[in-house]
Structure formats: structure tokens, C-alpha cells
Structure 1
Amino acid sequence: MIYLIIGLLIIALTYVDAITKDRKFSKYTSLFVLAVMLLLVSLRYQVGTDWDAYYDFYKGNRSTDNVEIGYALLNDLFSGLGFHYNFFILVLNIFALTLMFSYLNKNGFLLCVGLLIFFSDLFLYLNLSGIRQGIAIAITCFSINFAINRNFLPFLGCILFAACFHGTALAFLVVYFLPRTKMKFYVIICCAIGFLLCNLFLESISEFITLYTIKSADFYTSQQEKIDNVMNLFYVGIAKRSVIICVILFFGRKMFDLPNSHFFFNIYLFGFGVYLSSYLISPDIGARLSSYFTIFEMLLAGKLLYAMNNINNRVVVVTLFSLMAIYKLLGYMSFETYVYQTIFSTL
């Protein structure tokens, strides 16, 4: 229930944000929302699919060494110093959410709608469970300004740093080479051919990647994505990812007058292509790889609302995003591993 309460709070703030279009209000409101999210993730106890795995790793009960060096070093440092596990989680999420705020603040216009999208999906999926990839995505988001300014070495450094927390972050390197302007027809054709080849390649290495992320793969097949339901969830995923594209094409063409909008839109489309070409091979691959790119929906939604002059249209769009967020939150609330309890319940 706490997820829905926080979601409704963010929705209310998003309506105010969209109606007023006050960027200063948006900035301070987003800081408040991030503080609430930080408390939620840091005070949890036995919440998230991967809680037991990460907690056991912190306590030294290691059933696997398949953990990237960056996370392992931090884990061993905090554990060796005797810090409580929740303090470790707090520090990690201060780092990750600070990078996310920097990413939004530097590139966004209205921020609350982006945080609503983030909270209702990737935040719950990663920050409350897949911690390492949550950190990796925050770092890759932070790196986008180096890509925008074509500073390749700092961009590469960020990606390599992110890969120290989750190896899949290396996929984000392709962003540097994506078009910054509206894609021409021949570029779209080349991308389509590329995704077809990617589909064949991923099919050949899917078993390796699934073994690399075995715990998440188990989660998909045993809880979220029953084998006989994969196609249905694939279509739901397509529908959810198509909403921002349809809304932009219908309401928000002026959005492309704002800085870097074409670039962010191309990144999002690339992530959509990754999802389409890989999800049916392995839901784990499709969800993990595409998330590095589809997270740019956070920026696109805020830019879209800011570019819309008609207040009624802005309210309609916020309502659409709000309904999607509630749908996602209700989904997480149905999972036993996401039943929320705090560390105070252990006292």
C-alpha cells in the first residue's frame, strides 16, 4: 500500500508541476520526492526479489562470486567496517539518486512526471531489488552530458565505471554514436537491419547472459513472467513503451524545439528496438538491456509537458501517465517479495 500512497503523492505534485510550469518549483519538488524515495529504499527490510542474495553477500555468506568488482569492493569495505546493511543501502542510493537528480536537472524541464515514471517502474525494479544495475543506470544517465558535448573519453570513463557495478552498462556505449537530429529514412532502415542482426546474435548468446543474471532470470520465469504468459506481457510491454511515442506524435511536436530532444528521442527509440528484438529470446535480456535507453522517457515526458501550451492537454497527458503508473504500482504490490516492511519491524 505504501507504494500506491507515494505514487499518488507524486501524481498530485505532477499535476501541480504541469499546471504551473514553474521550473524552480519543479526542482525543489523533485528533491522532496527523491528524499521520500531514499527513505523508502533505505529503511526497507526483506523487500525485493534479490534481498536475500545481496544481504547474504554482505554478511559473507556467498553462494556466488559473479559480482562486479566495483560493487564487491564497496560491499567488502562497508561490511568489513561493521556498518549495518541498511546504512550501506543508504549510501549507495544517495549516490545513485544524486546522479539521477543531476541527470534530470541538467536535461529536463518539468521533473516530477519523470520521477513518477521512474518510481513506478525502474526504481522499484532496480533500487529495491537489482541494486547493482540501479547504480549502473544512474551512472550512465549522468554520462549523457559528455555524449551531448561529444567528450568521448569522460563518457567512456563513466561507462566503464558503470560496468564495474553491472556489466550490461557497456551496451550504453552505442549512445555516443546515435544521431543527434531527426533520423533520415536510410538511417531507420540501417537500424532495422541492425536490430535483425542483433536478434540473431542475442539468440546465440542468450544462455550465457541468462546464466550471468541467473537470479533475475529466475524471478522472471517463476514470478513475473510465466512461460505461458510471456507473449501477453511482451504485448503489454510494447503498449507501455508506445505511449510516450504516440503522445509525442499527437500532442508534442513542439517538444523537438527544445535542446537535445531529437537525441533523447532517438535513444528511447533505440531502447524500444532493443526490447522488440530481444525480449522473446530472453525477458531478462530484453528488460535489462533496454532499460538503459528507455529510461530517457523521464526526460521526454517532462519536455513534452513543458512544450505544450494548452493546459487541458497537459492535464490529459499527466492523467495518462498517472494511470500507467498506478497500473505498474498495482503490479508490484501483487508480488509477495515486494510486501513492504521496515527495519524497525526487527527491533
Structure 2
Amino acid sequence: MSYYLIFGIMASLSLVQLRGTANERLVTTIYCLLVVLIFSSLRGVLGNDHYSYYYAFIYQLDLFEFGYNYLNELSFFIFGQHFNGLLFVVAGISLFFYFFSAYKFTIYPIIAFIIIFCDLYQYFNHSGLRQGIALSVVLLAFYTATKGKYLAFLSLVFVAASFHKVALCVIPAYFILSPSFTRRAIPYLGLVILLAIFHLFSHIFVNYLSESNIRGGNLYFSEHYNVSNIQNYIIGTIKRLIPIMIIMWFIKVRHASAAFISIFDIYMIGFILYLGLYYFYPDIGVRLSSYYFIIEGVLMARLIEEIHNERQKIYGSLIILAWAIIRLLTYTNNPLYNYSLSTDLF
């Protein structure tokens, strides 16, 4: 019920933004951020990885990348053993980057965030805290790339990698989003070649990671983390194909603005990564592709901007919101994501 309440608040505010002034969009965006911040900070046990982060906080274990370890220590210094203090800090950082990025990318930032909230936010920000922070920082890095600011882009990517090293996989995205890059086919071709090479020599690559001292390398490629399931693969593919179908229903991509096309290309890179990796290495496929799929919320919001008919805008927004809540059902029906207030708030 809690998820639907938050969704209802955000959906209502997103519809206000469709006809709102610039000031109204800013106020509703800040209000939405605060609502989700409270929701995420006061939660109890939630997600698959809750206890990994809980015990790392309580016992001050340096188990993760240095950026997260520092944040873990700082939160403990400020809040003592109150784990919700850490959740407040993590949610505050993530939400700032998500909303600030969305606000810079589109005039409909709440629609952009709703798409994130109903899927990746649950899986990463409510469970895998490190990657949740990294994804939010990467989204802002994508925005700087659209402005051709390569130093800002690289700086943000390295900040993201200090929380989750896999974030380095988005470095090629600069050449897709940068306004000075026009050869759209090259990134797709390059990715296909890299995936082919990876699969041809995957046994060498996996053995290297398994035997190396790279933290998490052995775990991410373990059989426990990578159980192939054709049904999950098909369902996941359809799930990631639906946004493409929604876009093609409303507009012809080749006639869209250059900015929209570059954002669409980022999503397509994620789609190719998912198709190429998930069946053989499900965990790696999800983690890598999520760094490109994080652009989906912005993509859907920019789709609304590309639609010029007012009635079609509303129709498109309702379809996007309906698709978002369907995705949220995946988590509301999962016992691991049953929301409850923390019993250790004070």
C-alpha cells in the first residue's frame, strides 16, 4: 500500500507539471524529492542486500569501494549505530542526483523519476545501495556529456566508480551523447564486436576474474549468481522492449530532435548489452545494462516533449504511468520488498 501511495502522489504531481509553469515544476519536483526521501529513509528491512549493508555499518567493515566505505564511516560518526541515518544520507545523495539530472534533462522531471522509482530505484537504491548511488551520479554524467563537457563527465564517472566500480562501463557513452559525435552506427558496431569477443574468450576472462584479487570478481561470475533461465530472459527482453514500442507508437525516431536520438541510442546500447549478456551471465547482464537503462526515465519524459498535440501528451503520459505501475507490481508482490517502518528510528 505504501508504494502505491507514493506512486499516487508522484503521478498527480507529474500531471500538474504537464501544464505547470517553470516555478510550479520546480516546487513540485522539490516536494516529490522530499516525499521519497522520507519514504526511503524511514524504511525497515527491505531488499536482498539489506543485511550486507546493515552489518557493514554496525561493525564498520570496509567491504566495499572506498567512496562507500567513507560514507559508511561518516554516517556512523554522525548518527552512531542508527542505520536509518545511513539510509537518509544514501537516499539524499541519490535523490539529489536523480532529480537534479532529470530537471536539467527535461521539463517533466517527475515523470522521468517515476520510471526510475518503479524499477531500478527499488532494485538498487532500496537494496544495492552502492550501485544506487553510482547510477544517480552516472545520470548527471550523461547530462554533462550532452553539453560536450568531457572533464565533468569523466569526473562524475570516477565519482560513481568510487561507489561501484562497474560504473566505468559508461565511459563510451560520451561519444554517443556528445553533440560533436555524429556517426551513430559506430557505437552499435563496436558493442556487437566487443560482445562477440567476450563470448569467444569468456572462459579466459572469467578465470582471470575468479583468480584475481578484484573484489567481487569471483562472486559476480559464480554459478550461484548466474543461473541461466530462458523464461526470465524472454520476460526481461519483452519488459525492455516495451519502452521502444511506446516510443515508436507516438513518434518516428529518425524525425525526432538530435538530443532525443542520442538519449534513445544510450537506451539501445543497454538493450544490446542485456540481449548479449543476460542469458549467459544474468547478474553481469543486469548490472552492466542498468548503467545505460538508467536513461529510460529521461527518455520517456523527453518523448512527451516530442509529442506536440496536447491531447496526445496526456494520452502518452497516462500510458507511461500505467507501464510504470505495472513494473512496480514486480516489487510489491515480492515479500523481500514488503515496506515497513524501521523499528530503530530513535
Cα deviation per residue 1:265-295 (whole Å; 9 max; x = unaligned)?
1111111111111111222111111111111
Instruction: State the match for 1:73 in structure 2.
Output: 70
SS in 2 for 1:292: helix
Contact 1:206 1:281 in 2 (8 A): no
AA paired with 2:110?
C
Q: Structure 1 residues 13, 202: closer, same or farther in 2, change over 3 A?
A: farther
SS of residue paired to 1:143? helix
Deviations 1:80-133 (A, max 9, x none): 455322112212221221111121111112122211101101111111111001
What SS does the corresponding residue of 1:87 show, helix, strand or coil? helix
Residues 304-341 of structure 1: CA deviation (Å, up to 9, x unaligned): 11221223333332233223222222211122221111
Provide closer, same or farther for how the CA distance between residues 184 and 217 of structure 1 changes in structure 2, counting only shifts above 3 A: closer
Provide the rounded CA distance (Å) in 2 between the counterparts of 1:100 and 1:17: 17
Report what 1:165 is aligned to: 163
* 1:148 positional shift: 2.4
CA contact (8 A) 1:10 1:116 kept: yes
Q: Does 1:212 align with 2:219?
A: no
Instruction: Report what 1:50 is aligned to.
Output: 49
Q: Once superposed, which parts of structure 1, at least 4 consecutive aligned residues long, lie more than 6 Å away?
A: 213-218
* Equivalent residue, structure 2, for 1:143: 141
Report deviation, 1:21.
6.3
Task: Say whether residues 1:308 and 2:312 are aligned partners.
Answer: no
After superposition, give the CA deviation of every residue in 1:125-152 in whole Å (9 maximum; x if it has no partner).
1111110011111111122233223333
Bigger Cα displacement from structure 2, 259-268 vs 135-144: 259-268
Q: Say which is worse superposed, 303-312 or 46-55, in terms of deviation.
A: 303-312
Q: Structure 1: which 5+ residue stretches go unaligned?
A: none
> 1:132 is aligned with what amino acid?
R
Alpha-carbon separation, structure 2, partners of 1:279 and 1:5: 33
**Cα distance change, pair 240–151 in 1 and its aligned pair in 2 (3 A):** same
Cα distance change of structure 1 residues 345 and 270 upon mapping to structure 2, 3 Å threshold: same
* TM-score between both structures, scaled by the size of structure 1: 0.85
Percentage of identical aligned residues: 27
RMSD: 3.1
Q: 1:137 to 1:187 in 2, by over 3 A?
A: closer
Deviation at 1:78, TM superposition (A): 2.5
Q: Is the 8 A contact 2:84 2:344 kept in 1?
A: no
Letter in 1 for 2:33: L
Q: How much has 1:169 moved relative to structure 2? A: 0.6
What is the alpha-carbon distance in structure 2 between the residues aligned to residue 61 and residue 176 of structure 1? 36
CA distance in 2, matches of 1:147, 1:203: 34
Separation in 2 of the partners of 1:301 and 1:243?
11
Structure 1 window deviating more from structure 2 (246-255 vs 92-101): it is 246-255
Q: Are 1:131 and 2:129 counterparts? A: yes
Equivalences, count: 339
Q: Is the 8 A contact 1:44 1:343 kept in 2?
A: yes
Q: Counterpart of 1:8? A: 8
**Partner Cα distance (1:237, 1:90) in 2:** 31
Would you tell me which structure has more helix in proportion to its own residues? 1
Q: Is the 8 A contact 1:47 1:129 kept in 2?
A: yes
Quick one: structure 1 residues 217 and 193, their matched pair in 2 at CA, closer, same or farther if it must change by over 3 Å? closer
Q: Deviations over 1:213-255 (max 9, x none)?
A: 788899x969xx9x57x32222222222222222222312379
Query: 2:150, 2:217 → 1: CA distance?
Result: 29
Cα 1:341/1:217, change in 2 over 3 Å = farther
Cα 1:276/1:133, change in 2 over 3 Å: same
Output aligned runs, 1:220-299, within 5 Å.
227=227, 230-253=229-252, 257-258=256-257, 260-299=259-298
- Mark the CA change 1:275 to 1:215 in structure 2 (over 3 Å): closer, same or farther: same
1:197 lines up with 2:201 in the alignment: no
Q: Could you tell me whether the CA contact under 8 Å between 2:157 and 2:170 is conserved in 1?
A: yes
**What is the distance in 1 between the residues matched to 2:10 and 2:33?**
10
Residue by residue over 1:8-32, the C-alpha shift from the partner in whole angstroms, topping out at 9 and shown as x without a partner, is 33233334434x2655433332222
* Aligned partner letter, 2:295: F
Aligned counterparts of 2:116 and 2:314: Cα–Cα separation in 1: 19
Greater relative contact order: 1 or 2 (C-alpha under 8 angstroms, separation 6 or more)?
Answer: 1
- C-alpha separation in 2, matches of 1:56 and 1:245: 40
> Partner residue of 2:106?
108
Question: Aligned partner of 2:216: which letter?
Answer: Y
TM-score normalised to structure 2 length: 0.86
